[in-house]
Structure 1
Amino acid sequence: MHDAPHAPIPPAPAHWHAIPHEEVAGRLGVTSVGLTPEEAQARLATHGPNALPESPGRPPLLRFLAQFHNALIYFLLAGAAAALALGHYVDAGVIIAVVLVNALVGFIQEGKAEQALRAIRNMISPHATVMRASRRQSVHARDLVPGDLVLLEAGDRVPADTRLIRARGMLIDEAILTGESVAAVKNEAPAAVEAPLGDRHSMAFSGTTIAAGQGAGIVVSTGPHTQIGRIGRLIADVEPLATPLLRQVNAFARRFTWLAIASAAALFLFAVGVRDYGWSEALIAVVALAVGAVPEGLPAVITITLAIGVRRMARQHAVIRQLPAVETLGATSVICSDKTGTLTRNEMTARRLVIAQVGLVDITVSGIGYDPEGALSWDAPGDAARGDRAEAPAAAAAQLLRCGLLCNDAHLHAENGVWRAEGDPMEGALVALAVKAGLGPERERAAVARIDEIPFDAAYRFMASLHRDPQGEAVIFVKGAPEEVLKLAGVPGGGVWEAAIARAAAAGERVLGFAMKRLAVAPARLGFDDVRDGFAFLGLIGFIDPPRPEAVLAIAECRSAGIGVKMITGDHGVTAGAIARQLGLAEDPVVATGADVDAVSDAELVDMAARTSVFARTSPENKLRIVRALQSTGAVVAMTGDGVNDAPSLKQADVGIAMGRKGTEAAKQAAEVVLLDDNFVSIVAAVKEGRTVYDNIRKMIAWTLPTNGGEVLAVIGAILLGIAMPMSAAHILWINLATSATLGLALAFEPTEPGVMERPPRPPRAGLLTPFMLWRVALVSVLFTLVSFAVFFQSLWRGQELEMARTLVVNTLVVMEIFYLFNVRFLHMRSLTWRGALGTPAVLLALAGLVAAQLAFTYLPIMQAIFDTRPVALLDGVMIIGIGAALMVVLELEKMLLRRLRIFSAADM
């Protein structure tokens, strides 16, 4: 520590973690007594407050008005104007209400980036303990400046990026930045210049939490210059993406709008110029065309369908924060998933013991997590499996297990049948291991009482505990890094133990070594002189955070559905690769590190991202670049995360998925989906529901557009033929509103079709109307039009009045829509089945409601007065029902023929 302050502060180096802390103190002018109040105030004026900047944001009024800047909205407003021109104020009001509701939902949902930044700002500690002018004092975190001497203790939240000058048993939970589930061990020695964030052991980062120990450090970065501030800037720089559905709806609306305008203009000119219609008469015909063309109920039913998907996904533990994310999940082609807690249980498990017995013996351990259910098993070498020698591995293992239990501060307890560890996760796994082997933790700890201990510290990388056994003898147990424990036991390097350690590391296991030493006389205090040598090495224990068994099945389902799964984690590459192999992520998972990502250009990263299954030791920038690289290929990317470091990539992804249990508020605010159980299986279930939602939207469109098409063609045909229209504009509005509010809504409740997860993801740039749907819309529109004219002319030929003919046409169209609904409920399979005939409760309820409404339309005097309808005779009613049934048979034959001829591929359906 220097004794005199430097007034000017030189530019911050890129690698504070790699510079000796004495040099850091010199550069920042830090003395052993801390900064003076005057110096701190001057630096605060230079560097600004230790806080993340507020984003200005748009005024609320402009944000609200921006929701109307959309081709579909303009088209709907045009439809409302058309309804007003006809005097149908109720219908116009419904359309305007739909527009307002959609705008309000978009307005409420829009401030995602501002919310995410606000959540990150809240993670900065409000107060900090500093040394200033030889006085220990508490200051507001906003007032911290580079060069401040900060004192840190267990439980504190680190207030700014700090270069440690002293660390005693310090462990810091950095999961919000690195995603690493195990607390990072800290010491004051410089780290390697190229060390990734998770390996910078000489640094304490703003927003992280001191899990154990205490120390002190020099503030090197504040506010937006901290790691957490850098992430805030990344979030602010991410441009919001339109979801696949919104992109498709917008493109469809633009094309549809221009087509409708061109058709209306041409029809008006034809009616006036060729058919000698009067201006008012031609205008009424054009308004009828507009009313028929506008799918008034489409936005409302899409919104309702998405809302129903939200409710269904909530049952799958996935909470949707933005409605379009429901459908986006169904379009997902790549899932980028965190490892810890999502694909794994986030519970360390002792998986393997290695002891010396006629060579080394591997003892495997069954059971998962902290649940003490399981057993030990081994294959003894040579003839050791016979006779008394079969007990030797068990006896040697008992000494190892006792050492792991007694040199240990963790405890296990069960909550509602779920076992939890209090203390270090690996120590909790050791307690569970001891119980599996038949040792009682309380009994053993009482019998072999602890006298003193040396806590774990990164400086020496082991923990030692002094005990007195029931015979009154003193014993020292040691556990820690295998290399250090082997040195204490005097085991030469390069032998079989190093090979065993390498094998365990290759399997993705974290390894601890164990040793013991007996003493004739117990010292009053345990000192380092007592642990220099003389230990007997007991063996190794390998730990792993095991994969969730259900995640293995879910990943297999993803692969059958054509969805790629990539693991992006802060863990080491070897560990992540081993877990990937156990999960079946790929036949031979390719592993790349954050350093590998940094070494390639954006163009080169596209190929790397496509062929790599595991990205390890990644930074926030790495994750953001990986997501963008995948999106550049047209992939629809779902990204999971829980920490602040994940927030930028969560926002960049087509659908961000935050963890509900362990996720930070910043991650949740940046994401569209929150998983309540932090389980990868819930993501796959949500994708399945998303595909169901999209199928139901397609069914609704495939059912709605032919009705509108039939009405439009009927209007056009009447003008071209110079005859009376088979339906009035009021009739068209009645058909659209009555059927959309019943049958169209029923399609939103359709269950998942069989085989939905056996289909590949739909092409990301596919239009809303696939070739098959275009064919179906055209075919059904023509059939509706031909039948409408046939019924109309047949009625007039029989001498019935125009109003009677129009009433028959309206009822025929409604009945055809009912039968067409049963056909369109199954786009990928036959509809003429017992299941298809029964329908669903929603379909039957909608059918009953529509029949009641149509009977009222036809027979109720007040409705007859409003719509100018006439009562339909029984034989005419039977004829109309027969027409609907015939339409159903024709369309089923068409579906069967198309499937047999394979005219449309799976991607075109």
Structure 2
Amino acid sequence: MTYNIPSHLKGLSQDEVNSARAQYGYNQLEESHKSTWFELLVGILKEPMLILLIVISLIYVIVGDYAEAAFMLVAIAVVTAISFYQDNRSKKALEELEKLNEPLSVVIRNAQVLKIPTRDIVVGDFCITEEGRIINADGRILHSNDFSVNESSLTGESFSVFKDSTTADNLVYSGTITVSGLAVFQVQKIGKETRVGKIGESIRTIKEEISPLHIQIQKFVKTMAIVGIVVFLLVCLFSYIDTKNLVGSLLNGLTLAMSVLPEEIPVAFTTFMALGAWKLMREGIIIKRSSIVETLGSTTVICTDKTGTITANIMQLNHLYDYRSDTAYAKDEFDNEVLNELIDYAMWSSEPLPFDPMEITLHTIYEQTHKKDLRKSYQLFHEYPLEGRPPMMTHLFENSKKERIIAAKGAPEAILRVCQLTDLERDKIRKIIETFAQQGYRILGIAKSHFEGDNFPAKQQDFAFDFLGLTVFYDPPKEGIQNVFEQIYAAGIKVKVITGDNSETTKAIALQAGITNDAPAVNGSEIVGKSEDEIMTIAERTTLFTRMFPDAKLAVVNALKKKGEVVAMLGDGVNDGPALKAAHIGVAMGSKGTEIAKSAAALIITNDDLQKLIVGIAAGRRIYTNIKKAVQYIISIHIPIILIVSLPLFLGWIFPQIFTPVHVIFLELVMGPTCSIVYENEPIEKNTMKQPPRALGKTFLSINELGRSIVQGIAITLGILFIYQFTVQHGGSEEKTRAMVFCTLIFANILLSYANRSFYYSIIESFKNRNLLLVGISFIVLILLFVILYCRPVASFFDVTALSGSELAIALAVAGISVLWFEIYKLAKRM
């Protein structure tokens, strides 16, 4: 963006910037607290699992079992290290996202226009603001052009206020919105000293929402913690009545409490969400809060703007229709004197410093077709901003001789309505408009007026206008957009186009872009005055919404939400703000989007490529599926651990304490990385984007979903209990029985981690999705198992004995049967 800024505005030097920062600090309301490594460590040590380990270590020290105590201390160090690694990884990912979410501001320093982080603005800076931008400091206007600002965040008044350096109120305030034009202001107050800072508001702070899945996970973990306490007390009591050994009873109870606590689940959830958001950031998708990742995968409807989202937003001027000559001219015929007046007024009705692609094109055409450039001779002295339904805008220019130009442009219907034409003439022009619109062209009407004196009408529509003609733009669909919509439809997601353009143009572009539509388009004016139920019916059946204004867009989004849809709204303009804020997932365009759109949105696509939304939805589905795999794996493997610790004790079997805290903590150390590191790294399954979206409130913690995990866990338990009795029946000692049970459970754990990679495809098919972390961790676990079995000091410590090849084969076979029956279930499901 090139700014036409007066040359005398030089801005601060770097030394002046440094001096101002030393005196006034950074432009931020409150320095958010960053957790130190020590605070992270203290937080980890407060976790229930770590507290249990510390208690068990102390008991071992008290009874003089220093080897067991030392192992527990090592276990505490390992669990802490894993948790610290995960927490630190999540924290860094979120910090990176935070940096990217910080808005940029435009300043003049050393006579150069620079983009800087908003927090780096200092008192004395010359800031530039333009249409659609949030003002990020309090200051005094030095230079402006057609500048108006909405101060509703401070005053509650929603109308815009025109200001310049000569008005009585020439101040601008942080948190307000530039509605039109451009201004350069000198910063007077920053951060907490601004008006918005004084009243304690924070424009940039986004409150973290707790997702339905997060709430259910918290409830599940709390429930399991309560179960753990109850079971701990029961086992302690039962064991003490049986043995009269208080220390042994406490250890039994604590062992079972450790096996019940699914502390890996909240860790896995937080890690998956934070890292998912971080990975999307690397793809050019900035997510403002990590919980949006889960919601992305549930998207059922995408509401998209047309211009710049479906189309390339290049706005080629393809035709000019001149009313007086009643002729349409192609772009190679624009250098024709007949068109001079039409081109003149099309340019004058645009902003003097254009940033809209159509207005930039009109200025360029003016330059190419006019030898004498009058733009510096005339000054904009009065304007009517873009408004009305459909909208139009009017500019009034005057030169030093008091000669005036009054130019208007807007939606053809709006211009025809205010021009002095007969009904026959209007009908004739409407047919021409319809012909162009059916080819996907975007059309603006151009008109001129004459007015003496300064008592201007309150509304631009009250001028007496003469119709001059039409500007006919072509904004082609983006390359590859048809493929994008094919993927959206294949994923079971509906598409709604919500645009300010007319219905004929929108229909043509939708057809070219591959959008499925079998219903008539609905105009924004048709939504006004309708009841909530009527709007819900319209929103459900309609694909193309045209001539939409902010309130109508908001009404459609809210209606879709009431119908139970999970709505992603794509937009880039100021008028998209309310709908972006209301949608489950507001998506703003990073390159061409206004600051208002970016502020209201939950997700920003940095390169404006709609394909990135598909990437985001796929990532949301992958992450949800992987959390599901991790949690169901945790539940399935916890069940046999709980039952193997408790059943021999309750049933009075020969070896009641088959597992001690040492064995359980080893299993916990195996399970932690598997669920939170390995499954997070699991690639997306090939059928994921061909499934319909899941309902937002539906999670894998329902009884139907958990039933599968419980059955898997019980099957593994039956296999291990069989091994227990099989070994005992064949004269196995306690050490031999423990080794067989332990070995079978480890094998079952490894096989389960592979079986649960997919709840649909076979293990063999899942191997096509490479996950080297899973292979690596499985290999490490097997090495550790063999060290435990065959390294005598370690085997003695774990109270196990070496197993023969045939015994290992039996353990592997039983583990295989206990787990791999699930492959038959999946085969039946596929068939």
Tell me if TM exceeds 0.5: yes
Residue of structure 2 equivalent to 1:470? none
Residue 499 of structure 1 and its aligned partner are, at CA, apart by 2.9
Counterpart in 1 of 2:280? 313
Any idea what SS the aligned residue of 1:251 has?
Answer: helix
* Aligned match of 1:721: 651
Instruction: Render the CA deviation track for 1:76-123: whole Å, top value 9, x for unaligned.
Output: 5765666556753444566667778898969997999xx999999999
Matched, 1:730 2:697: no
2:443 aligned with 1:510, yes or no? Answer: yes
Q: Which residue of 2 aligns with 1:472?
A: none
Secondary structure class of the residue paired with 2:473: strand
The answer to whether the 8 A contact 2:277-2:293 is kept is yes
1:295·1:705 contact (CA, 8 Å) conserved in 2? Answer: yes
* Offset from partner CA, 1:750-793 (integer Å, 9 cap, x none): 21112212212212222333455323222221222122222223
Question: Does structure 2 retain, via aligned residues, the 8 Å contact 1:509–1:544?
Answer: yes
Instruction: From 609, 616, 624, give the equivalent of 1:686.
Output: 616
Displacement of 1:892: 1.0
Contact 2:231–2:253 at 8 Å: present in 1 too? no
- Specify the alignment match of 1:44 in structure 2: none
For 2:742, which of 810, 813, 828 is the aligned residue?
Answer: 810
Letter in 2 for 1:711: I
Aligned-partner residue type, residue 372 of structure 2: R
- 1:849–1:97 distance in 2 versus 1, CA, 3 Å: closer
What does the per-residue CA deviation read over 1:350-406, in whole Å, with 9 as the maximum and x for residues that have no partner? 35555899997797xxxxxxxxxxxx8xxxxxxxxxxxxxxxxx8799778899889
Equivalent residue letter for 2:226: W
Alignment of 1:408-447 (within 5 A): 425-426=357-358, 428-429=360-361
* Code of the aligned partner of 2:664: I
1:496 counterpart residue number = 428
Q: In the superposition, relative to structure 1, how do residues 882 and 100 fare at CA in structure 2: closer, same or farther (>3 Å)?
A: closer
Residue in 1 that maps onto 2:10: none
Deviation at 1:801, TM superposition (A): 2.7
Corresponding position: 1:450 with 2:380? no
Residue 791 of structure 2 corresponds to 860
Instruction: Give, in whole Å, the separation in 2 of the partners of 1:844 and 1:698.
Output: 20
The whole-number CA distance in structure 2 between the counterparts of 1:210 and 1:732 is: 66
Which of 672, 682, 697 does residue 765 from structure 1 map onto? Answer: 697
Residue 673 (str. 1) matches residue 575 (str. 2): no
Is 1:207 the counterpart of 2:137 in the alignment?
no
Match status 1:287 vs 2:257: no
What is the deviation of 1:857?
2.7
Go from structure 1 to structure 2 and tell me whether the alpha carbon gap of 1:125 and 1:408 turns closer, same or farther (over 3 Å shift).
Answer: farther
* Cα gap change, 1:764 to 1:118, in 2 (>3 Å): same
819-828 vs 666-675, greater mean Cα deviation: 666-675
Q: How does 1:15-34 map to 2 (within 5 A)?
A: none
Report the Cα offset of residue 487 of structure 1.
8.4
2:724 maps to which of 783, 792, 813: 792
Shift in Å at residue 735 of structure 1?
1.4
Does 401-410 or 889-898 show the bigger shift?
Answer: 401-410
1:821 aligned to which of 749, 753, 762: 753
Aligned to 2:811: 880
In the alignment, which of 212, 229, 244 is matched to residue 244 of structure 1? 212
The answer on whether the counterparts of 1:409 and 1:423 sit within 8 Å (CA) in structure 2 is no
Tell me, yes or no, if the aligned pair for 2:586 and 2:600 is still in contact at 8 Å: yes
CA 1:807–1:514 in structure 2 vs 1: closer, same or farther (change >3 Å)?
same
Which one of the candidate residues 707, 713, 731 is aligned to 1:781?
713
1:320/1:674 contact within 8 Å kept: yes
Aligned partners of 1:642, 1:206: CA distance in 2, in Å? 18
CA pair 396-154 structure 1, distance change in 2 beyond 3 A: closer
What secondary structure sits across from 2:763 in the alignment?
A: coil
Q: Distance in 1 between matches of 2:322 and 2:104?
A: 53
2:605 and 2:612 in contact (8 A); partners too: yes
Match of 2:310 in 1: 343
1:587-627: CA deviations, max 9, x gaps? Answer: 32654638946x467777665655565486544x7767765
**Deviations, residues 475-528 of structure 1 (Å, cap 9, x unaligned):** x9x99678699989999933633431355468672235699xxxxxxxxxxxxx
TM-score with structure 2 length normalisation? Answer: 0.67
Whichever residue aligns with residue 207 of structure 1, its letter is I
Matching residue's letter, 1:783: A
Distance, in Å, in 1 between the alignment partners of 2:432 and 2:120 is 42
What is aligned with 1:704?
A: 634
Which whole-Å CA distance do the structure 2 matches of 1:451 and 1:485 have between them?
A: 31
Partner of 2:144: 153
Q: Does 1:755 align with 2:687?
A: yes
Q: Structure 1 403/830 Cα, relative in aligned 2: closer, same or farther at 3 Å? A: farther
Displacement of 1:721: 1.2
Partners of 2:524 and 2:41 lie apart in 1 by 41
SS of equivalent to 1:291: helix
Which secondary structure does the structure 1 equivalent of 2:492 belong to? Answer: coil
Kindly provide the amino acid, as one letter, of the partner of residue 684 in structure 1: I
How far the C-alpha of 1:224 sits from its partner, in A, is 12
The match for 1:746 is 678
Match of 2:724, SS?
Answer: helix
Q: CA separation of 1:245/1:672 partners in 2, compared to 1, >3 Å: closer, same or farther?
A: farther
Among 251, 255, 265, the residue aligned to 2:223 = 255
Structure 1 residues 253-262 or 243-252, which shifts more?
A: 253-262
Q: 1:615 to 1:870 in 2, by over 3 A?
A: farther
- The 5 Å alignment of 1:188-203 reads none
Could you tell me which residue of structure 2 aligns to residue 871 of structure 1? 802
| Aligned 8 A contact 2:572 2:597 in 1 | yes
Q: CA deviation at 1:836?
A: 2.9
Shift of 1:691: 0.4
* Contact 1:547–1:582 under 8 Å retained in 2: yes
Question: CA 1:80–1:510 in 2, change beyond 3 Å: closer, same or farther?
Answer: farther
How far did 1:709 drift?
Answer: 0.7
Where 2:177 maps in the other structure, the secondary structure is coil
Q: Which amino acid aligns with 1:660?
A: G
* C-alpha distance in 2 between matches for 1:351 and 1:690: 41
Q: Determine the C-alpha separation between the residues in 2 that align with 1:58 and 1:585.
A: 47
Say if 2:149 and 2:161, in contact at 8 Å, map to a contact too: no
- Closer, same or farther: CA 497–894 of 1 in aligned 2, 3 Å: closer
CA distances 1:258-302 after superposition (whole Å, capped 9, x unpaired): 3333444444444455x5664433332221111112234333333
8 Å contact kept, 2:683–2:770: no
* More displaced 10-residue stretch of structure 1: 151-160 or 766-775: 151-160
Indicate conservation of the 8 Å contact 2:309/2:609, yes or no: yes
Conserved? CA contact 2:557–2:582, under 8 Å: yes
Three-state SS of the structure 2 residue aligned to 1:208 is strand
Does residue 324 of structure 1 match 2:291? yes
Q: Is the 8 A contact 2:227 2:260 kept in 1?
A: no
Work out whether 1:548 is the aligned partner of 2:470. no
Residue 777 of structure 2: aligned partner: 846
Deviates more, 1:629-638 or 1:759-768: 629-638
Q: Secondary structure at the match of 1:674?
A: strand
Taking the aligned partners of 2:208 and 2:553, their CA distance within structure 1 comes to: 17
SS of 2:647's partner is helix
Counterpart of 1:350, as a letter, is L
Unmatched 5+ residue regions in structure 1?
A: 1-52, 130-139, 145-149, 163-176, 179-183, 189-204, 215-222, 364-375, 377-393, 411-420, 435-440, 465-475, 516-534, 901-909
Tell me, what secondary structure is at the counterpart of 2:317?
A: strand
Q: For residues 267 and 786 of structure 1, what CA distance do their matches in structure 2 show?
A: 21
Of the three residues 489, 495, 511, the one matched with 1:559 is: 489
2:300 to 333, 350, 368: 333
Amino acid across the alignment from 2:260: A
Equivalent residues of 1:68, 1:103 under 8 A apart? no
Structure 2 unmatched runs, 5+? 1-26, 61-68, 106-116, 127-135, 165-174, 185-192, 385-392, 398-404, 449-465
